[in-house]
Amino acid sequence: MKREFVIGSESYDVLLNKALGEYHLDVGDRQLAIQAEEIGSGEYFIYVDGRKQRAFVAVDDENTYIHMEGKAVTIQRIDPFEKIMGGDGADGSGSSLLAPMPGTVISVNCEPGQQVSEGDVLMVIESMKLETTVAAPREGIVEQVNFSAGDTFDQKALLVSLQAEEE
Amino acid sequence: MRRIVSNISTQSHEFKENQADMARVLNEFRQLQQKARYTRPERDMQRLNKQKKLFVRDRLELLLDPGTPFLEFSSLAAHYAYEGTVPGAAVVTGIGLVSGREVMVIAGDASVKGGAWYPLTVKKMVRALDIAIENRLPVIHICDSAGGFLPLQSGVFPDRFAAGRIFRNQVQLSKMNIPQIAIVCGHCTAGGAYVPALSDYNIIVRGTGAIFLGGPPLVKAATGEVVTVEALGGCDMHTTTSGTADYPADNEPQAFAIARDIAAQFRKPKKQVIETAPVEAPYYDPEELYGIIPMDRKTQYDVREVIARIVDGSRFHEYQPAYGKTLVCGYAHIWGYKVGILGNNGVLFNDSAKKAAHFIQLCNQNKTPLVFLQNITGYMVGRTYEEEGITKDGAKMLMAQGGSVVPKFTVIIGGSFGAGNYGMCGRAWDARVLFMWPKAEIGVMGAEQAANTLVDIKTRQMQKEGITLSEKDIEAIRTPIMESYERDLSAYYSTSELWDDGILDPADTRNALGMSIACSLNAQIDDQSYGVFRF
C-alpha cells in the first residue's frame, strides 16, 4: 500500500525507497534523491537532488508541519489501511431488526411512520437476564412494529422494520 | 491496528447520569478502602507506639522503592466477615518494586488483634504466595503476628489450603529457585516461626522481634521452665547462637535497609519475550468509563467502548467481527504488551463459544497473554440451542481456556453468572490475577431471578394445598431473598471472601493489567498442550 499525503486539497502518492544507502522519493513519475540531516530539535538540513534547504519540522497524530523557505506547509498523512477499511465496520444499511435471541419486550419506543435517526432506541428487549436496546441502524422512517411491551418473541423474529431507502 | 471508533456521547443525559452514579459508588469505595488501610482504634495504635513498632503502612514505605507503584491485592478482604473488625484481613499483600526487583510483599498488620491470623488472613497469604509461585516473584515477608486467632482455629489450621499451605508454598518457592526474605518485626510464634526459618534470608529487630515454636507462657505450662522472650527467641540469641536468623537490626528502619540491600543482590530474571509495541496512551480517556458503565447492571452495552479505554491508542484488531458477535475477540496492546482480549457483548451462543475456543488457541500458539472482560449472564438455553450442541460448544471453550499455557487475566466488569463465569476464566480457572469493578456482581443467578424462582416454587406448593398467596405473602418471600442476594452477589462480598484479588476503580484497570502482565512474564510460557475437544 502506497502512503498518501495531502497538501492543501491535493493528494500525493509518495514512496520512500532506500537503495545503496541512499534514499529516493518516488512522487508520481519523478524520482528524487533525498537526504535529511538533523541539526537541532526539529531543525533539519534537507537535500533534494543535492539542493540544500533548512527546514523546521513538527509532527502530531495526523499532520506534519514544515516551515521551509519562508513558507509553512501542512502535510496531512493518510493511513492507507484506514482509508481502505473506511467507516467503523458497522453494518449501517439494514432495514429489518431481527431478534438476536428469544426474549420478552420491555418497552416499545417508536411507532410506525415515525422519523428516526441513527442510534435512536426503537425497542428494549430482555433475554437471559439482560436488557438490550434495539437501536436504529440508520436514519429512516419506521415501517412496522410487530410486538408490544410484555410480548415474547422467538429468535430472528422481525421486531421493527424501517422503510426501504430510496435510491 | 485501527482505532476503535467510540459511539459514546459524553454530553448525553444518560452518560451524565451514569457518571454521577459511578462517582457515588467510587466515593464509597475509596472511603471504605481508606478506612481499611488507615483507620484503627486509638488504643491499638498507642500499643504499637509503646512497643516501638511501626504501623504496617509505614513499614511498606520503608521497604518499597520510592515513587513506584504498589499493586495491592484484596484491600477490602474480610469486609463483611468478623463483624468488620478485621480490616483487610489483618495482612497487606501486593506487588511492588524493591531495589528495582518486582517482589510480592506479605505484611502482617499488628494493629489488628496483634496481627493474629484469622481464616481469611491465611487465605489472603496463601493466595499471595500462589501468585508469587505462578509469576516467579521473590517474596518479602514482614512478620508481626500473635499467631493463629484461637477462637477460630478450626478455620485457620487443619485444611489443605489453611496455614500449613503458607509453609508448603514457601518450600515450593525455594525449590523453584525463587528467593524469599523475612523481616521479623514482632513475634513469630508456633507455625509463624517457620516463615523466617523457611526464608533464604531473614532479619530480626532487636527488642521487638522474636522467633520460637512456643512462647514463654507455653514453655512454662509445658515444662515449668521460666525464660524471657529475648533469651528464648530474641535477636541476639538467634543471630549468634541458633543461626535461625541471619541479620540483627537495631531498629525497623535498619531492618528494612538491610532487606533492600539483600534484594539488590537478587539476580534479575530473564523475562519471557512476547510481542511488544511502543507504549501509547489510550486515545479515549479511561475516566469516560464512569459514564459508559450503565446504572443498571442488566443494561447491555458495547464492550468495545471498554476496550477502547484500556488499550494502547484505543487500537484493536478485531477477530471474526461478523461471527459470534456476542463475544468480541481481538488483539491489542496494554502498556506495549500484545494481548488477546475476549469481552462479552451478550449471552454466549454456539458460534460465540466456538469463536472463543478458536481465538484462545491462536493466542496460545503465538504466545499472546489473554485478557477476559467478563460481563456474562451465561450460555444460551433452550431446545434449539441444545440441539445445536450449546453444551459441547461451551465445553470446547472451557477446554481451550482451561488448557491455555499463556498467562490469563480476568476483570469482572459487569455480571459473572453461572457457566459464563467458567468460560470467561472465573476464579477456578487460574487467572494470574482477577479483579472486579465496584458495580460487578457474581453468583449462580441474579437476585431477581432467584427471588422469582423461589416465589414460583412456593406459589405452586401452596396451590396444591388450595391456598393462593396474597401480594403481601409474595413480598414477604421476595424481600429477604432480594436483600440477602444483593449483598451476596456484590463485588464487596466477593472481595471480602477473597473470590477475587481486589476491587478496581475502572480507570485504573489499564495500569493494574499492565503491571500484572509485566510480572507474569517472569515465568516462561510452556509449549501448548490441550485435552480432548468434543466436536
What does the block give as the cell for B334?
496494554
User: Can you spell out the DSSP letters for B361-390?
Assistant: HHHHHTT--EEEEEEE--B--SHHHHHTTH
Paired with A34 in beta bridges are: A23, A48
Q: What is the pTM of this model?
A: 0.91
pLDDT at A50: 85
- B295 contact A CB<8A: no
Asked, for residue B348, whether it belongs to a domain, the answer is yes
Residue A19 in this model has a pLDDT that exceeds 90:
no
C-beta separation of A104 from A89 below 8 A: no
Cα separation, B183 vs B200, in Å, equals 11
Asked, for residue B111, whether it belongs to a domain, the answer is yes
Judgement on whether residues B368 and B515 belong to the same structural domain of the protein = yes
For an interface test with B, the pick among A78, A129, A131, A153 (most B C-beta atoms closer than 10 Å) comes out as: A129
State the residue range of the domain holding B396.
Answer: 286-438+503-520
ipTM: 0.74
Judgement on whether residues B460 and B432 belong to the same structural domain of the protein = no
Q: What is the CATH number of the domain that holds B257?
A: 3.90.226.10
CB atoms within 10 A of CB B135: 21
Sign (positive or negative) of CA dihedral A75, A76, A77, A83 = negative
CA-based nearest distance A133→chain B, Å = 7
Residue A166 in this model has a pLDDT that exceeds 70:
no
Q: List C-alpha distances in Å: B457 to A129, B46, B399.
A: 19, 56, 35
Cα separation, B190 vs B187, in Å, equals 10
pLDDT at B12: 93
Which run of H or E residues covers position B211? strand B210-212
Band of pLDDT at residue A93, cut at 50, 70 and 90: low
Q: Which overall architecture, per CATH, does domain A96-162 show?
A: Beta Barrel (2.40)
Asked, for residue B81, whether it belongs to a domain, the answer is yes
C-beta separation of B186 from B252 below 8 A: no
Residue ranges for chain B with pLDDT beneath 50: none
Cα separation, A43 vs A45, in Å, equals 7
Q: Is B490 helix (H, G, I), strand (E, B) or coil?
A: strand
Same fold, A3-85 and A96-162: no
Judgement on whether residues B211 and B350 belong to the same structural domain of the protein = no
Judgement on whether residues B453 and B373 belong to the same structural domain of the protein = no
Asked, for residue B347, whether it belongs to a domain, the answer is yes
Which run of H or E residues covers position B50? helix B42-50
- pLDDT 10s digits, A109-134: 999 999 999 889 999 999 888 888 89
Judgement on whether residues B137 and B226 belong to the same structural domain of the protein = yes
Residue A90 in this model has a pLDDT that exceeds 60:
no
pLDDT at B448: 83
Judgement on whether residues B243 and B309 belong to the same structural domain of the protein = no
Count of structural domains, chain B = 3
Asked, for residue B269, whether it belongs to a domain, the answer is no
What does the block give as the cell for A121?
432506541
Judgement on whether residues B377 and B253 belong to the same structural domain of the protein = no
What does the block give as the cell for B448?
431477581
DSSP conformational letter for B76: T
CATH topology of domain A3-85: Glycoprotein, Type 4 Pilin (3.30.700)
Judgement on whether residues B59 and B111 belong to the same structural domain of the protein = yes
Residue A1 in this model has a pLDDT that exceeds 70:
no
Which residues have C-beta within 8 Å of that of residue B131, sequence separation ≥ 6? Answer: B73, B95, B104, B137, B432, B433, B501
Judgement on whether residues B223 and B352 belong to the same structural domain of the protein = no
CA-based nearest distance B298→chain A, Å = 5
Band of pLDDT at residue A87, cut at 50, 70 and 90: low
DSSP conformational letter for B177: T
Contact residues, chain A, for B349 at CB < 8 Å: 101
What does the block give as the cell for B466?
388450595
Judgement on whether residues B251 and B185 belong to the same structural domain of the protein = yes
pLDDT at A13: 83
Domain ranges of chain A: 3-85, 96-162
Amino acid letter at B39?
A: T
Judgement on whether residues B387 and B241 belong to the same structural domain of the protein = no
C-beta separation of B400 from B362 below 8 A: no
For an interface test with B, the pick among A1, A107, A130 (most B C-beta atoms closer than 10 Å) comes out as: A130
Judgement on whether residues B259 and B340 belong to the same structural domain of the protein = no
Q: List C-alpha distances in Å: A167 to A117, A164, B420, B499.
A: 18, 9, 44, 57
Q: Supply angle C-alpha B425, B84, B290, rounded to 5.
A: 50
Q: List C-alpha distances in Å: B234 to B13, B56, B244.
A: 65, 21, 10
- pLDDT 10s digits, B253-299: 999 999 999 999 999 989 999 999 999 999 999 999 999 999 998 89
pLDDT at B10: 93
Query: Quick check: A132 and B300 CB within 8 A?
Result: yes
Nearest by Cα to B341 from B354, B327, B352 = B327
pLDDT at A92: 52
Which residues have C-beta within 8 Å of that of residue B333, sequence separation ≥ 6? Answer: B1, B276, B277, B279, B280, B311, B312, B313, B315, B339
pLDDT at B376: 95
